[in-house]
């Protein structure tokens, strides 16, 4: 190892910037999943409904949707509803499954259901594929 003078603190910067990078995607993930819910429940996802479910004003929702479109996750025409691209729909499914698995794990470990649901909404975005796989293995036992 060429790592003599690093008493564990050398990898800290990488951990922090990784967490920041993940965080940058978090809001987008929640929007995509929620738009997917709306499409399934009501056949369309309107700005007013998106805003209401996110707990945000409509201009904020409009801007978020603009970012989703820029990222290739959603499409929409002015004054019309929002739809997901293939990529957006796939992301929604992944995010939804990850959320459920995390909640299940938290409950399995003794966290009350309502608390698990609340905490998971923030935690979920930082759960890597590797951790998720471990969760599934644990839950399967």
Which residues in this chain contact Mn ion in the complex, by CB under 5 A? Answer: 30, 99, 121
- Specify the residue, 19 or 72, whose C-beta has the smaller distance to a second copy: 19
CB of 45 to Mn ion, least distance (A): 16
Burial 78-117 (b: 16+ CB within 10 A, else e): eeebbebbeebbebbeebbebbebbbbbbbeeebeeeebe
According to CB under 7 A, which residues from 5 to 24 bind DNA? 20, 24
Which region, judged by CB under 8 A, interacts with a second copy, from 61-69, 70-78, 90-98, 122-130? 122-130
Q: For residues 46 and 40, is the Cβ–Cβ distance under 8 A?
A: no
Judged by CB under 8 A, does residue 4 bind a second copy?
Answer: no
Residue selected from 4, 43, 55, 78 as contacting a second copy according to rule CB under 8 A: 55
Residue selected from 36, 66, 109, 113 as contacting a second copy according to rule CB under 8 A: 109
With CB cut-offs between 5 and 8 Å by kind, which of Mn ion, a second copy, DNA, none does residue 99 bind? Mn ion
Closest listed residue to residue 103, CA positions, set 121, 125, 126: 121
According to CB under 8 A, which residues from 18 to 47 bind a second copy? 18-19, 22-23, 26, 30, 34, 37, 41
DSSP state string for 40-90:
HHHS-B-HHHHHHHHTS-HHHHHHHHHHHHHTTSEEE-TTS-EEE-HHHHH
Judged by CB under 8 A, does residue 63 bind a second copy?
Answer: no
Q: For residues 116 and 81, is the Cβ–Cβ distance under 8 A?
A: no
């Amino acid at each position: 190892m060429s790592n003599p003078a690093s008493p564990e603190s050398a990898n800290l910067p990488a951990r922090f910037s990784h967490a920041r990078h993940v965080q940058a995607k978090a809001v987008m993930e929640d929007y995509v999943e929620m738009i997917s819910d709306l499409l399934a429940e009501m056949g369309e996802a309107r700005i007013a409904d998106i805003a209401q479910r996110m707990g945000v004003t409509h201009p904020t929702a409009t801007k978020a949707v603009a970012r989703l479109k820029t990222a290739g996750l959603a499409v929409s025409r002015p004054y019309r509803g929002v739809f997901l691209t293939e990529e957006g729909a796939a992301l929604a499914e992944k995010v939804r499954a990850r959320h459920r698995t995390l909640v299940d794990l938290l409950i399995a470990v003794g966290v009350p259901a309502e608390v698990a649901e609340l905490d998971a909404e923030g935690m979920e975005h930082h759960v890597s594929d590797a951790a998720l796989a471990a969760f599934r293995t644990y839950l399967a036992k």
